[in-house]
Amino acid sequence: MKLDVNTDATSILTAKFEKLHKSAFPSAVRNTLNEVADNHKKLIPKVAKHKFKNERNKTFFRAITNYEKATGFDVNKMTATSGLNPKALGGKASKVINNLEKQETGGKIKGRKLLAGSWSRSGNNLGGKVKTSSRFEKQDLHDSTEAFKFQLAKTGSKASAYISAVASAVKKGIKSFIIKSGRNGKLRGMAYQINKIKTNVKTRKTTLKTTKVYGYVSENEFTVKRRNFIGYSRRMVIKNIDKIYKEKAEFQFKKYLK
C-alpha cells in the first residue's frame, strides 16, 4: 500500500506537519499504511467467501492471508503490503496460492488429477475440510479399471463388475481403488474406499460397503473463471485511505499541539 500525501484531500493536512516534530509526519503516514493493509488482510476472506461461495471457506482464507507493516521514518521508502502468504500452513500454501493468483484474473491452471468432492469432506459439503480418512497421503489407490471392464464385458452387469473391481483391490491388500473410463487419453473416474466386504460361504452372497473418496480426471489443466477477490478487496479499502490519513494526522496534531 502507498499513500499520496499531496492530493487535494491530503495536502492541507500534510502542510500542517511542518510545524510539528519531525517524527510526526512519518508516524502518520506509517500508521495510515498499516491500518489500510490490515483492513485489506481482514477483507480478503470476506470477499473470497462471496466470490468462491461453497468452494472455499472463510477460515481457509484467513489462514493464508497476512500483512507486513511499514517501518522506519523515510516516507519515500515506506510501504505496507498485504495479500496471500505462500509461507502459511507450514509452507504448504505455496501451490494453492499459485493457483488462486491465476484465478484472480482467470485462465488455465494445473490441478490435481484426484479431486476431493463433497463425499470426502466434512458435512458432505464442498466448503468443508477434507476428512482425515480421505486425505491424499493416506490413499494407496489400486487401479481396478481392467478388472471392472473384463467382468462387465463378460456378464454385462455393472454390479458384478463393481464387485470384481473391489476384489481386485482386496487381493492386493489395498483398501482403496479407482475405476476409470473414457477414450482418446481423456479419462474420467471415481476413487472409492472399501469400508466392509464379507462373503457368506453358504449362500455365496457378498456384503459390500464402499464410499466415494475422489473424482478423477486425466487432464491436469483446467480453465477457471475470473474471481478478482484480491483486487476488489484492495479497491474497497483504498477508498478510505484519505479518511484514515486524516484520522492519523489529527492524532499527531493533538499529540504535539497540546
- Identify any residues that bridge with 177 across adjacent strands, giving them in sequence order: 142, 192
In this predicted structure, the answer to whether residue 6 has a pLDDT above a threshold of 70 is no
Buried b vs exposed e over 38-72: b needs ≥16 C-beta within 10 Å?
bbbbebbbebbbebbeeebbbebbbebbbbeebee
Q: What is the pLDDT of residues 26-80, one digit of tens each?
A: 999 999 999 999 999 999 988 988 887 756 666 888 888 999 999 999 999 999 9
In this predicted structure, the answer to whether residue 15 has a pLDDT above a threshold of 60 is yes
In this predicted structure, the answer to whether residue 114 has a pLDDT above a threshold of 90 is no
Instruction: Provide the pLDDT for residue 158.
Output: 92
Q: Give the sign of the dihedral formed by CA 105, CA 106, CA 109, CA 114.
A: positive
Same-domain pairing of 29 and 105: yes
Residue 101 lies in a domain: yes
Domain carrying residue 210? 114-216
| Pairing of β 176-183 and β 141-143 | parallel
Residue 3 lies in a domain: no
* 9 confidence band (pLDDT: 50, 70, 90): low
Residue 57 lies in a domain: yes
Residue 201 lies in a domain: yes
Q: What is the pLDDT of residues 122-140, one digit of tens each?
A: 777 766 777 777 765 555 7
Average pLDDT score over the chain:
83
Same-domain pairing of 45 and 104: yes
Q: What is the mean pLDDT of residues 201-213?
A: 83
Residue 40 lies in a domain: yes
Q: Give the sign of the dihedral formed by CA 13, CA 15, CA 19, CA 21.
A: positive
Q: What is the mean pLDDT of residues 93-101?
A: 77
Cβ within 8 Å of residue 100, ≥6 positions away: 84, 227
Count the neighbouring beta carbons within 10 Å of the beta carbon of residue 216: 20
Residue 51 lies in a domain: yes
Residue 1 lies in a domain: no
* This model's pTM is above 0.75: no
Instruction: Provide the pLDDT for residue 82.
Output: 92
Same-domain pairing of 228 and 104: yes
Instruction: Provide the pLDDT for residue 1.
Output: 58
Collapsed DSSP state (helix, strand, coil) of residue 174 = coil
Domain count, the chain: 2
- Asked whether the beta carbons of 83 and 65 are under 8 A apart, the reply is yes
